[in-house]
Structure 1
Amino acid sequence: MTDGRQRLGAVGEDIAADYLTTLGWRVCARNWRNRYGELDLIAREPDPVGGPDILVIVEVKTRRNGAVFDDPVAAVTEAKLERISRLAWMWVADRREAGELEYFEVIRYDVVSIRMDGRGGSPRLRHHRGVLD
């Protein structure tokens, strides 16, 4: 990946993490990786009715205007989602083995897609909830 794409991705992840925090979520991990891949954001969403938190694995896709896809979520393929799911369970297993994670009834997979306006305008963010069954 080029430095420009890495910088764009890092900016997008910062925007996504800030957005999730404004929703009252707690970001548990960023850019967790092992030899099989990387998870962008791992967060806890408070249950709106006071139940246990929901563990949410968030894939962040950031593109500049003029990119191939209108919404960057289109770049998240079924194969990518399967890899994210496998990585998520590896992360959960690692945290449980270390005694750092309790049981979660719900693990959800979301995508935050961000379109950057090259003319200095505000980024356009879309939150796609539950993209994997």
Structure 2
Amino acid sequence: MPSKPKPKSKIQNPKSPEPGALGEDLVAQWLKSEGWLILQRRWHCRWGELDLVIGQPDPKSPQHPILLAFVEVKTRSQGNWDEDGALAITTQKQEKLWKAAQFFLADHPLLAELPCRFDVALVNCQRLSSIRSSPPQRSTDPAMLIKDGYQLTLLDYIQSAFTL
């Protein structure tokens, strides 16, 4: 008697990152190349997740930040409906990020007195063709990442994208 076919799982291979996580990797790589400190990645609280918390280093003490930015990363494929993720930063999303940032600062009191802002990074993601005969070349552009079958490109980085 033949065995029943296994149902296809909608869960991705845990060893293969999702495009959203790869977009965050790209933005973190780019921010580091721009001189920023990556303080936290994917910080969670009951209000949601802060994709990246970064610090502008103090010129006199480079390991200590003088400004914080909470970075929301939106990774989209070509032909998306929401202007590369920009339309996903709704008033409700801004309020959730603000509340999450307040929890972060309460959890990190040494950072709570620093000036803060909310930045948005828009990333384009394209799946590379599986019939490619040779692996893609590593990009020397810090605004591009080729990894796990995807090519990601930082389209726009919006400083102080919103205030509440």
* TM-score, normalised relative to structure 1: 0.82
Residue 112 of structure 1: how far off its partner (Å): 0.5
For the structure 1 residues 69 and 14, does the alpha-carbon distance in structure 2 shift closer, same or farther, using more than 3 Å as the test? same
Which of these residues, 158, 161, 164, is aligned with residue 128 of structure 1?
Answer: 158
1:101 match: 111
Name the larger-Rg structure: 2
1:28 match: 39
What CA deviation, in whole Å up to 9, does each residue of 1:23-42 have, x standing for no partner? 10001000010122111000
For the structure 1 residues 122 and 42, does the alpha-carbon distance in structure 2 shift closer, same or farther, using more than 3 Å as the test? closer
Q: Which runs of 5+ in 1 are unaligned?
A: none
RMSD of equivalent CA atoms: 2.5
2:137 match: none
What CA deviation, in whole Å up to 9, does each residue of 1:74-118 have, x standing for no partner? 21111101110111011001111xxx53621x1000000101233
Equivalent position amino acid for 1:107 in 2:
C
The answer to whether the Cα contact below 8 Å between 2:84 and 2:122 also exists between their aligned partners in 1 is yes
For the structure 1 residues 92 and 124, does the alpha-carbon distance in structure 2 shift closer, same or farther, using more than 3 Å as the test? closer
Task: Tell me if 1:62 matches 2:62.
Answer: no
1:7 match: 18
The answer to whether the Cα contact below 8 Å between 1:72 and 1:115 also exists between their aligned partners in 2 is no
For the structure 1 residues 47 and 68, does the alpha-carbon distance in structure 2 shift closer, same or farther, using more than 3 Å as the test? farther
Q: Secondary structure at the match of 1:123?
A: strand
Aligned residues: 126
- Quote the Cα distance in structure 2 between the aligned partners of 1:114 and 1:44: 21
Which of these residues, 97, 101, 105, is aligned with residue 88 of structure 1?
Answer: 101
Runs of 4+ aligned residues of structure 1 deviating over 4 Å after TM superposition are: 119-122
Which has the larger share of helix? 1
Equivalent position amino acid for 2:46 in 1:
R
* TM-score, normalised relative to structure 2: 0.67
- Quote the Cα distance in structure 2 between the aligned partners of 1:71 and 1:128: 13
Residue 61 of structure 1: how far off its partner (Å): 0.4
